[in-house]
Structure 1
Amino acid sequence: MRLSRRTFVEGVAALTIAVSIPAMAQAEDFKMGLLVPGSVSEEGWNRIGFNALKGVEEQLGAKISYVELQQNPASFEKAFRDYASQGYKVILGHGFEFQDAALEVALDYPDTYFLISSSSIHEGNVIGLNTDTSQPFYLMGVIAAKMGKKAGLVGGMEIPPIQQAFVGFKNGAKSVNPAFPISEAYIGNFTDTTAAKEAALSMISQGADFVVPNASGATVGGYQAISESGPAVRSFSIFSDFTQVAPNNILGLYVADYAQGVVEVVHSIKDGSPPKENIIFGLKDPKVISFTFRDDGPVSVPEDIRAEVKAISAKIAAGEIKTDAQ
């Protein structure tokens, strides 16, 4: 259910303003704002959103600003309204959780474009930018089932983009071995690194030798648990490079250059030709999504498995394998 614009109560969940929103700006300025669910100083999901914002600044000459928020829908709506009322042409809500607030505010600001990460929406001036993470996670599942005995998946909140990623992992693993055991847990937020660490340790204690955390800012807690459990527990770096956190455990890196994808979308808006449908980035977009193997760790993916994974990746990119089928 979408939030009513009247549900906000003044004084609830004050915003942490990371870059102040200018009170006045020249009319000709092209401005973009960013809302992130946490801190952009953390490696992972929030940093990706910030990199996208900086890419728009550097490549398109936009005036930029961002706010760091806690998980509070009322604060989402207020932040969207603050930016839209001050003439920001594009506002990126970096996560599916921003979708309802954007749909509510967009009704009052038809000339502002609201981009929502990890969303499949396209409703007027609200446009979803959805990276199909089921595709690289499918490749991770294939590797886990070929090299491991059991896998564990630690998620932040049980929302569609994380569920989609985990479905991809499970489908990849089961394409190798339908009986391959996989445990799955959600910590209920994106900030509690201790909870992510404890969930990962619990899975490892129950025999998981492949563990993949996917919990935005809390993700690092999962990698800490993996690292402390020794090189027998393997993982993959997701969104950003976490090899410094778990140098002996990571076999491959899924890196999303979401920034460049966002730049292209914002460029089209600036030029007066906004997308007519939601955007889905996948393995067919190598400038946005890449999955690479790591060679500088104590354990690496054998060459025969690498060749098979590369062939599977090509089939996914060509649309021959559907990775998110339930």
Structure 2
Amino acid sequence: MKKTAFSRRSLLASAFALTLAGALPAHADDFKMGLLVPGSIGEEGWSRIGYDALKRVEKELGAKVSHVELPENPDAFEKAFRDFAGQGFRVVLGHGFQFQEAALAAAEDFPDTVFLVSQSRVHEANVIGLNTDVSQPFYLMGIVAATMGHKAGLVGGAEIPPVTQAFEGFAKGAKSVKADFPISTVFLGTFTDATAAKEASVSLISQGADFVVPNANAAGMGVIQAVKEAGAGVNTFNVYSDYTNAAPKNVLGTFLADYGQGIVRVVSDIKDGNVPKANIEFGLKDRDVVKFTFNDQAERPIPQELRKHLEEVTAKIVSGEVRTLAQ
């Protein structure tokens, strides 16, 4: 990032300090929210989660809403942000870490719009990160894998912080059980290619992985397919979407983020003129947002004793006694 751009944003942050203290006016009659998604809302997965959150804002807060499906193109991201802000949208959500730089660039020229960025830890002037700490549920998955399995494979859409931090949590959880538990990781370079995810999963399984876990949005369905075809000896977890019906014997549990609940909470505050003064962190403490459940119909369901242990670990994560990330 260029120093000049950073300086401009720093000056902007100072100029709007009073505004962000909660003085932004609310216009209830024309409150509008826009959404940018990196894919299709027609597919179950990350983009659909963002769209469902937007529709909840429309229903529960009476907002006028609109969304745009975008390719992975930073120039397109910034243009879309500017288009929404130029039309008087009070809130625009870029649904994914990849929208962060575009939001920071556009925000300089639209101080009356609040730019939200999913899976981001940022707070600068009118740009606010909404981070779901996925390292926490992945830590629990790691405990299960190391307790019930012999080797794990992780399939990520791209090597970006929300994915790498999730996998770091998984590794820490697994190694809390077995310090030498083997884990192999593959980054696809795509969040939409289920075929590539399936091929990567088949390769990991051939190398001995009996747990293969995705963090790849819509591409994650390829992991589920590979695990099902591998048979009852290979297990996985749902991440963001519930694909249990596609592999009911292999899916041991489901991590869901009820993102809509969190978004409604944040956007309601903004509508009332109360802009968050720091980035927002959702985690296992937010039981209405982050949910981790078990599949009793699996071939080898998670034993009750292990489930009890997971509850104990969850309490320690919430209290801060257990850290799921290195920092």
Deviation digits for residues 168-210 of structure 1, max 9, x if unmatched? Answer: 0000000000100000010012111111111111100100000
**Alignment correspondent of 1:136:** 137
**Alignment correspondent of 2:112:** 111
Deviation digits for residues 206-229 of structure 1, max 9, x if unmatched? Answer: 000000011112111111111111
Question: Is the counterpart of residue 283 in structure 1 residue 284 in structure 2?
Answer: yes
**Alignment correspondent of 2:234:** 233
Question: Which AA in structure 2 matches 1:318?
Answer: S
Question: Which AA in structure 2 matches 1:301?
Answer: I
Secondary structure (helix, strand or coil) at the match of 2:246 reads coil
**Alignment correspondent of 2:22:** none
**Alignment correspondent of 1:32:** 33
Question: Which AA in structure 1 matches 2:297?
Answer: D
Q: Which structure 2 residues correspond to residues 46-85 of structure 1 after superposition, within 5 A?
A: 46-85=47-86
Question: Which AA in structure 1 matches 2:162?
Answer: P
Deviation digits for residues 262-320 of structure 1, max 9, x if unmatched? Answer: 11100010000110000000001000001111112222011111111111011111111
Question: Which AA in structure 2 matches 1:310?
Answer: E
Secondary structure (helix, strand or coil) at the match of 1:67 reads strand
Question: Is the counterpart of residue 194 in structure 1 residue 195 in structure 2?
Answer: yes
Question: Which AA in structure 2 matches 1:60?
Answer: L
Q: Is 1:37–1:46's contact at 8 Å kept on the other side of the alignment?
A: yes
Size of the aligned set, in residue pairs, is 305
In 2, Cα distance between the equivalents of 1:225 and 1:298?
16
Secondary structure (helix, strand or coil) at the match of 1:244 reads helix
Deviation digits for residues 233-278 of structure 1, max 9, x if unmatched? Answer: 1011111211122222100111110111011100010000110000
**Alignment correspondent of 1:145:** 146
**Over aligned residues, Cα RMSD in angstroms?**
1.5
What is the CA-CA distance between 1:28 and the residue it aligns to? 3.7
Q: Is 1:39–1:217's contact at 8 Å kept on the other side of the alignment?
A: no
Question: Which AA in structure 2 matches 1:290?
Answer: K
In 1, Cα distance between the equivalents of 2:105 and 2:29?
26
Which deviates more from structure 2 when the two are superposed, residues 227-236 or residues 136-145? Answer: 227-236
What is the CA-CA distance between 1:82 and the residue it aligns to? 0.9
Which deviates more from structure 2 when the two are superposed, residues 30-39 or residues 238-247? Answer: 238-247
Using structure 2 for the length normalisation, give the TM-score: 0.91
Question: Is the counterpart of residue 299 in structure 1 residue 300 in structure 2?
Answer: yes
Question: Which AA in structure 1 matches 2:270?
Answer: I
Which deviates more from structure 2 when the two are superposed, residues 235-244 or residues 124-133? Answer: 235-244
In 2, Cα distance between the equivalents of 1:253 and 1:27?
37
**Alignment correspondent of 2:272:** 271
Question: Which AA in structure 2 matches 1:166?
Answer: F
What is the CA-CA distance between 1:230 and the residue it aligns to? 1.1
Q: Is 1:144–1:173's contact at 8 Å kept on the other side of the alignment?
A: yes
Deviation digits for residues 72-109 of structure 1, max 9, x if unmatched? Answer: 11110111111111011000000000000000000000
In 2, Cα distance between the equivalents of 1:235 and 1:224?
10
**Alignment correspondent of 2:318:** 317
What is the CA-CA distance between 1:322 and the residue it aligns to? 0.4
Question: Is the counterpart of residue 93 in structure 1 residue 94 in structure 2?
Answer: yes
What is the CA-CA distance between 1:44 and the residue it aligns to? 1.5
Identify unmatched segments of 5+ residues in structure 1.
Answer: 6-25
In 1, Cα distance between the equivalents of 2:66 and 2:249?
38
Q: Is 1:239–1:254's contact at 8 Å kept on the other side of the alignment?
A: yes
Question: Which AA in structure 2 matches 1:182?
Answer: I
**Alignment correspondent of 1:214:** 215
Q: After the TM superposition, list the runs of 4 or more consecutive aligned residues in structure 1 that deviate by more than 3 angstroms.
A: none
**Alignment correspondent of 1:20:** none
**Alignment correspondent of 1:14:** none
Q: Is 2:28–2:271's contact at 8 Å kept on the other side of the alignment?
A: no
Using structure 1 for the length normalisation, give the TM-score: 0.91
Pair 1:108–1:27, CA change in 2 (3 A):
farther
Q: Is 2:142–2:171's contact at 8 Å kept on the other side of the alignment?
A: yes
Which deviates more from structure 2 when the two are superposed, residues 83-92 or residues 291-300? Answer: 291-300
In 2, Cα distance between the equivalents of 1:55 and 1:299?
36
**Alignment correspondent of 1:121:** 122
Question: Which AA in structure 2 matches 1:283?
Answer: L
Q: Is 2:154–2:183's contact at 8 Å kept on the other side of the alignment?
A: yes
Question: Which AA in structure 2 matches 1:320?
Answer: E
In 2, Cα distance between the equivalents of 1:267 and 1:74?
30
What is the CA-CA distance between 1:27 and the residue it aligns to? 9.5
Q: Is 1:153–1:184's contact at 8 Å kept on the other side of the alignment?
A: yes
What is the CA-CA distance between 1:32 and the residue it aligns to? 0.4
